[in-house]
Structure 1
Amino acid sequence: MLKYLGPMVVNRDGTLSCIMNWENMMEMERPNRLRVLGKQNQLRQEALKTTEEGAK
């Protein structure tokens, strides 16, 4: 499995990446990062969808 890579990040261009230092984060940092990342990914997906719909 690839759990050590951590959560997936939606980049502005729609590609996916991972958090490179996930293994080195302290346990108390991870929940906060997940919360922020979840919001960020959602906003980026919505922006990509809007851009895609505008291009049609």
Structure 2
Amino acid sequence: MAAGKKAKDMGKTAKGKVKEVTGKTVGNESLEMKGRAEQAAGDAKMTARKAKDTLKH
């Protein structure tokens, strides 16, 4: 897996976690849901890249 793409996906997941926690803290459900969605998107991309890499080898 390309290190840059992996870092980008991990960053997206981390950014989503921050949004989720911030949303919970301030009571903003919309921000919390956006954070969860962003985390899921980052996780999905990482999983897809891992599967692609596994098939290459």
TM-score (norm 2): 0.50
Where is the helix percentage greater, Structure 1 or Structure 2? 2
The structure carrying a bigger strand percent of its residues is 1
**Bigger relative contact order, structure 1 or 2 (CA pairs below 8 A, ≥6 apart):** 2
- RMSD of the TM alignment (CA)? 3.2
Partner secondary structure for residue 12 of structure 1: helix
Q: Which runs of 5+ in 2 are unaligned?
A: 1-7
TM-score by length of 1: 0.51
Shift of 1:16: 4.4
Q: Any gaps of 5 or more consecutive residues in structure 1?
A: 1-10
- Distance in 1, matches of 2:43 and 2:32, equals 16
| Counterpart residue number, 1:45 | 43
Identity of aligned residues (%): 5
